[in-house]
Amino acid sequence: MALRDRLRPWHALMVVVLLAGIGVSLSRADTITTAAAVRALVSGLFGLVIFQFTVGNIWGYAVEYRNAGGSWTDLPFLVPFVLAGLAGVAAGVWTGSPGAGAWVAFWVFVFVAAAVAVGTWVLVGYRGANANG
């Protein structure tokens, strides 16, 4: 199997994020030195890890919800997104920092998505127990 057949659009997006992180870091450097290039590479890799952790996990949440028979228009699926968005905007306005807003939005999403997943799992378990009993 050729490498081209194993690469997906996700991989291309990750390369773009890496290059963007490197480019932004280099654009902030006064002169391009070896140290600046190493910092740019580390910055790009850090940005890639953050991207993979956030966007990758959110995409995984969406795909797993869909694979479990849910629809992306279901209220339980949308609740984490809505609450995270509201909390992120509120935190960003309150602190004046978009970074703080993004940080709060991410963690609200994580906790609400976990609560929805556990709640759904419990409800499905009770429905299954009632159907068998």
- The span from the CA of 41 to the CA of 33, in Å, is 12
Q: Work out the average pLDDT over 11-32.
A: 91
What is the number of other CB atoms lying within 10 angstroms of the CB of residue 21?
A: 22
Judged by DSSP in three states, 74 sits in coil
Q: What is the pLDDT of residue 44?
A: 94
Q: What is the pLDDT of residue 130?
A: 63
For 63, the enclosing helix (H) or strand (E) is helix 34-67
Quote the tokens at residue 22: 């490197």
Higher pLDDT, 67 or 6: 67
pTM higher than the cut 0.85: no
CA dihedral 12, 13, 19, 23 (to 10 degrees): 150
Mean pLDDT of the chain: 87
HSE of 101, CA atoms in CB hemisphere, 13 A: 13
- The span from the CA of 100 to the CA of 97, in Å, is 5
Asked if 91 and 77 touch (Cβ cutoff 8 Å), the reply is no
Give backbone dihedrals phi and psi of 53, rounded to 5 degrees, phi first.
-65, -45
Give backbone dihedrals phi and psi of 34, rounded to 5 degrees, phi first.
-60, -40
Percent share of the chain, pLDDT over 70: 88
Q: Residue 6 pLDDT more than 80?
A: no
Q: Residue 133 pLDDT more than 60?
A: no
Residues 33-75 pLDDT 10s: 999 999 999 999 999 999 988 888 888 888 888 887 888 898 8
Q: Work out the average pLDDT over 82-92.
A: 96
- Indicate the range of 13-27, 55-69, 90-104 predicted with least confidence: 55-69
